[in-house]
Amino acid sequence: MEHAPYTVCKTCTIRTKSFCGALPVRSLDSLANTRRLVRFERRQTIVCEGATAVSLFNIVSGVVKLYRSLPDGRTQIVGIRLPGEFFAIADGEKYTATAEALTSVVVCRFSRSRLKQLMQQFPQIQARLLEMSYRHLAAAQDQIFLLGRKTAREKVASFLMRYSGKFDPERMDKYRRVPMTRTEIADFLGLTTETVSRVLTSFAREKLVAIDLSHSVRLLNIDLLRKIAGN
């Protein structure tokens, strides 16, 4: 799991600098010393639901899905985390969801106990975590509304509007690849693979999207998709 050499996370350092502004250099060093970079390939599990929470992570690059599942196989993705965001910020002793890499991912691992000390020393870090958890709470509310009250078409349209292109920011508006299988999209939207597939082909027939080789989705009519997504 942790082959990566002991490296300082540049992304975090940069972010830390911008957020912690006036911190003395020595503080930044001590911050850096509590972190290390770890790389995960697509489909690798980063943390497991129910395991004792020892670390928390900041994403340097790549995308991570958080999911929960029941013994009978029912699975639900409860969140998607993009570069710069934190995950596995558990409330108590245990992780509340499993985290798995959706793309190649480089994460910055923080020791939980050490971070607690650092937060006391540098409130700016805490402020950043707080701000981010509000954003995630608002995103969770979006998903709750989507799951509770939207139709399959609305769900898929919302998903495309929200996430397509977020996976490789360089080619953002050209291809908007979504490196998720139909099953994963279904597990995000509370649907089945078949339904996701049917909705996507129906969108393709209506010229709302184009489905290229390797299942890349390109958005053709963003305005109409936004209208279908509703809010």
22 touching a second copy, by CB under 8 A: no
Q: Is 191 in the site for DNA (CB under 7 A)?
A: yes
Find out whether 47 and 18 touch, Cβ atoms under 8 Å: no
Pairing of strands 55-61, 75-81: unpaired
Convert residues 67-106 into a mask of x (bound to a second copy by CB under 8 A) and - (unbound).
-x-x---xxx-xx---------xxx----xx---------
The alpha carbon of 207 is separated from its chain's Cα centroid by a whole number of angstroms, namely: 29
State the Cα–Cα distance between residues 189 and 152, nearest whole angstrom. Answer: 8
Contacted entry of DNA, a second copy, none for residue 193, CB cut-off 5 to 8 Å set by kind: DNA
Using the minimum distance from each CB to DNA, give the nearer residue, 120 or 183: 183
Pick one of DNA, a second copy, none as the site partner of residue 153 (Cβ within 5 to 8 A by kind). DNA
Binding mask 145-164 for DNA (x = CB under 7 A): ------xxx-----------
Is residue 52 at the binding interface for DNA, with CB under 7 A as the rule?
no
Per the listing, tokens 């908007």 go with 176
Instruction: Name all contacts of 111-115 with Cβ < 8 Å and 24+ positions apart.
Output: 111/34, 111/54, 111/55, 112/53, 112/54, 112/55, 112/56, 114/34, 115/34, 115/56
User: How near is the Cβ of 153 to a second copy at its closest, in Å?
Assistant: 14
Q: What is the full DSSP assignment across 160-223?
A: HHHHTTSS-GGGTTTT------HHHHHHHHT--HHHHHHHHHHHHHTTSEEE-GGG-EEES-HH
Q: Which is nearer to a second copy, 2 or 93 (CB)?
A: 93
Nearer to a second copy, 24 or 92 (CB): 92
Q: Are 101 and 62 in contact (CB under 8 A)?
A: yes
> Tokens 């937060």 sit at which residue?
119
**What character string, x for contact with a second copy (CB under 8 A) and - otherwise, covers 128-147?**
-xxx-xxxxxx-xx-xxx-x
Q: Which of residues 102-141 bind DNA (CB under 7 A)?
A: none
| Total residues in contact with a second copy, by rule CB under 8 A | 40
Of the candidate residues 182, 218, 220, 226, the single one contacting DNA (CB under 7 A) = 182
Strand partners for 79:
66
Binding site for DNA (CB under 7 A): 151-153, 181-183, 190-198, 200-201, 211, 213-215
